[in-house]
Amino acid sequence: MNGKIIDFMQWRKIAGAASIALFVLSLVFLVVRGINFGLDFTGGALIEVEYVEAAPVQEIRQTLTEAGYRDVTVQLFGSETDVMIRFQADNDPDLGNKVVDLLTASGAELELLRNEFVGPSVGEELRDKGGLGLMLALAVVLVYVAFRFQFKFGIGAVAALIHDVVIIGGIFALFQLEFDLTVLAALLAVIGYSLNDTIVVSDRIRETFQESTETDVVKLINIALTDTLSRTLITSFTTALVLIALLIFGGQMLAGFAEALLIGVVVGTYSSIYVSSNILLATNLTRQDMIPPSREEPDLTEEKPSWLQDD
């Protein structure tokens, strides 16, 4: 093995403590502040209008509250002429037009861009389904990794995923960022991304265990992490690049998606280095664990389908 081996694991106690602290803190935020669920989950009405001139946010809120709509929130949406209005209302075929009429009564010129209504039962169902999806994803990942690698790797991978999801949730709770369907999609994509990272590292750990003559487990993990470091950083970097592109051009509709993923990429990169390796050490990973019971000798070509093999 050439090059310098970075001693990642010397900070593993600090990293472990930091992860646990962040995790607990995130749970606290999730419980105390709660998630700011978007319309998809809470139900209610949402109307987006575009003014010709700058939108009078205060006036809009006052007008609608006086007209009897409940829980009215008005916010600028991307530009100062674009306004998003949310409130609780019964479903009404003319709702969009009624609101526009109310707002144009003062002589303002505006255009109705979007008008959405989500029934509360739908939102509730979605929340249940989303939670179920997360659980299911975690369970399947555990089984797959345990099967493909070893049970301890499965635990490591799932721990890293829970770590990532909870911390992203905590950040969303702390800053009260809106959690809508696209954010849920992002959260699930983060699971995919972080998993990808963790598997690449695990794969390397397994390979190092099998091929190196080194016996010290901590050192073996350090070798594997050092070998994959440049790949880990480059992939995170390219993914971050496209997410920045989405943040710049994606507008408000994709902002939550890009934010969640960006946080996810940072947290996921960190967790693939520290969380899963830490768990592997904590569960006393040994070289014996790495010798597949059914196979005498690890054979890399065996895993490849024929079309992938080189002639």
- Footprint of other proteins on residues 52-91 (CB under 8 A)? 88, 90-91
**What is the closest distance, in whole angstroms, from the C-beta atom of residue 216 to other proteins in the complex?**
21
* Residue whose tokens read 């994959």: 228
Which has the closest alpha carbon to 294: 147, 144, 143? 147
Binding of residue 253 to other proteins (CB under 8 A): yes
Give the per-residue contact string, 203-232, with other proteins (x = CB under 8 A; - = no). Answer: xx----------------------xx-xx-
Q: Among residues 21 and 132, whose Cβ is nearest to other proteins?
A: 132
Binding of residue 20 to other proteins (CB under 8 A): no
Binding of residue 249 to other proteins (CB under 8 A): yes
Binding of residue 294 to other proteins (CB under 8 A): no
Q: Among residues 105 and 242, whose Cβ is nearest to other proteins?
A: 242
- Candidates 18, 24, 52, 234; binder of other proteins (CB under 8 A) is 234
Residues 176-205 that bind other proteins (CB under 8 A): 181-182, 184-185, 188-189, 191-193, 195-196, 199-200, 203-204
Binding of residue 34 to other proteins (CB under 8 A): no
Q: Among residues 6 and 244, whose Cβ is nearest to other proteins?
A: 244
Q: Among residues 85 and 137, whose Cβ is nearest to other proteins?
A: 137
Q: Among residues 105 and 140, whose Cβ is nearest to other proteins?
A: 140
Span of 6-14, 52-60, 233-241, 280-288 interacting with other proteins by CB under 8 A: 233-241
User: Residue count at the site for other proteins (CB under 8 A)?
Assistant: 82
Q: What is the DSSP string of the chain?
A: --SPPP-GGGGHHHHHHHHHHHHHHHHHHHHHT--EE-HHHH-EEEEEEEESS---HHHHHHHHHHTT-EEEEEEEESEEEEEEEEEE----TTHHHHHHHHHHTTT--EEEEEEEEE-HHHHHHHHHHHHHHHHHHHHHHHHHHHHHT-HHHHHHHHHHHHHHHHHHHHHHHHTT-EE-HHHHHHHHHHHHHHHHHHHHHHHHHHHHHHH-----HHHHHHHHHHHHHHHHHHHHHHHHHHHHHHHHHSHHHHHHHHHHHHHHHHHHHHHHHHHHHHHHHHTT--TGGGS-TT-SS--TGGGS-GGGS--
**What is the closest distance, in whole angstroms, from the C-beta atom of residue 134 to other proteins in the complex?**
9
CA 178 to CA 181: how far, in whole Å? Answer: 10
**What is the closest distance, in whole angstroms, from the C-beta atom of residue 80 to other proteins in the complex?**
16
Span of 8-16, 51-59, 100-108, 243-251 interacting with other proteins by CB under 8 A: 243-251
Binding of residue 301 to other proteins (CB under 8 A): yes
